[in-house]
Structure 1
Amino acid sequence: MPVSVREVSISSEPDSAYFLRVHWKGRGLGSGFMMLLTDGQDAWRGEVSEAAVCEEAEELEMPAERYIQDLQQALTETESSSSSYSFSLTPSPPARSSSSSVTLAYEKVQKDISFQLGSVVLMALSEPAEAVREILVHSLQRGTSLQQHNHKLEEENQRLRREQQRISAEMKRYAGGKEALEAELYSRFVLVLNEKKAKIRSLQETVTHLQGSSSEGKKKEDSVKSKRTAAQEEEDEYGGSTDEEQEEEQPASASASASSTRAVQRQLV
């Protein structure tokens, strides 16, 4: 069964120290809880039922979950929260010494407004020393448990610290390897780039040479074509003069043939 012990301050007795022990079932304070209050000399015990918790929530017109959360903070939390809680105990001394019961009320104070969360009637115990012993035993057990938990946390922190150091060393090693790899890749890249540049220059020179050769060939071809054209023109020019001479020679030949024919005919006569 979960148990909590906390120190509470009674508003009407600022110089007195009270310790409140609360234990409840596994479902939380909503299922009801037992309370034990002591100042080291006297002790009182009481119980709050599940029905009483629901009734208080309905009277305050609060959702049950919100009301139980406030109860948890007021009765079990050892650290202050955004809201503060106050406690009152009646009757006050010296009337309390002759009373067999007291009423413990707990209020919530928020933005200068206070309202009562609930109250419980606590019956005086005939053997308060036993109640004090229970609180001391629980406190010692809780302290031992916290000490063991702290020891485990310290071991875990040491393990995490060693792991962090190992990871840091690995990161440094990886960073060094990365830098070396980058330097090597850069060197290889420079070599490949220089080879590519040399190849490009060689190809450019080849293209330039081919373009020069092509230009010279074209010039030679144009020259040959020019010569051929000139020769053709010259041949055409000479060919025209011979035809004219042939035309002049043909009548002369014809005339000579006619004269020879006439001479033969005269001799026959």
Structure 2
Amino acid sequence: MSEHSLELSGSTVHYWEYPALPCPADNSPAPLRTVLVVHGFRGDHHGLERVVEALPGLRVLMPDLPGFGESEAFPSREHNIAGYTEFLQEFMTALGLDERTVLLGHSFGSIVASHFVAEHPGRVAELILINPIAAPALEGPKGVLSKLAQFYYWAAAKLPEKLGQALLRSKLIVQVMSVSMAKTKDPELLEFIHGQHHAYFSSFAHRDMLLEAFKASISGNVRQVAEQLRLPTLLIAGEKDEIAALPAQHALLERLPQAELSVIDGVGHLIHYETPAEAAQAIKAFLAAHPDPSEAAS
């Protein structure tokens, strides 16, 4: 793994490259496929590392989205779906990523990734969405919780600076969020998950950009552009996901022209933490069924 940075539209973006390694089963040479990963809301590149570790045969690029992790906020662009899709186009161009690239998005990253593909057909070869946001956040039985979260971010933006920052970075609230999403009963895994959230969930540039990104996360979803996603698409869903519920995943599957759904039992919205090996296995099977044309020709 190596860390890099580049200047895009007036801000410094940090990204991590995980080089393709020989597959352990037969020590065969690694393929040239590149997977570009888009993390979720309030996350950064650390969140998907456990999945990446289980994908030794792929080159993976994981940027911290502008305003999150180590990357600076946009200086003059809103932190919304349009802003982040434009960022992806700039990032891919700057790194010379071609149409063989595989695009992977988790949670909020699934919204950004799907809207990017809809706006730039043919720009990537395959689309992989983990815990995809398949329907509007304010719909359904969990709509009340989304509205409470909306008030939380709005209040934090309106309070005096010091109080607002304290509310957004409250360890108690981060713990409540972490506990509500985790489904595992394994104490060691729970400790790891909570530790990850406490370490990285508050790594955002400032409260204004966070409110912009939150508004994007509840106003956008994959369903809005489903019919435009005319490329091989893999949905990886959690059986117990309360944020991206399973019925909505099945409904989304019906709208997608070339998609398949892999459901992981016993897990919710934290597939990347709780069941990374199962997610990686689904990804490997999907990519094996949709090989890079240059690899197939060789």
Pair in the same fold by TM > 0.5: no
Could you say which structure has the higher strand fraction? 1
Larger Rg belongs to: 1
Q: When the two structures are superposed, what TM-score results if normalisation uses the length of structure 1?
A: 0.21
So what's the TM-score if we normalise by structure 2?
A: 0.19
Q: Which has the higher helix share?
A: 1
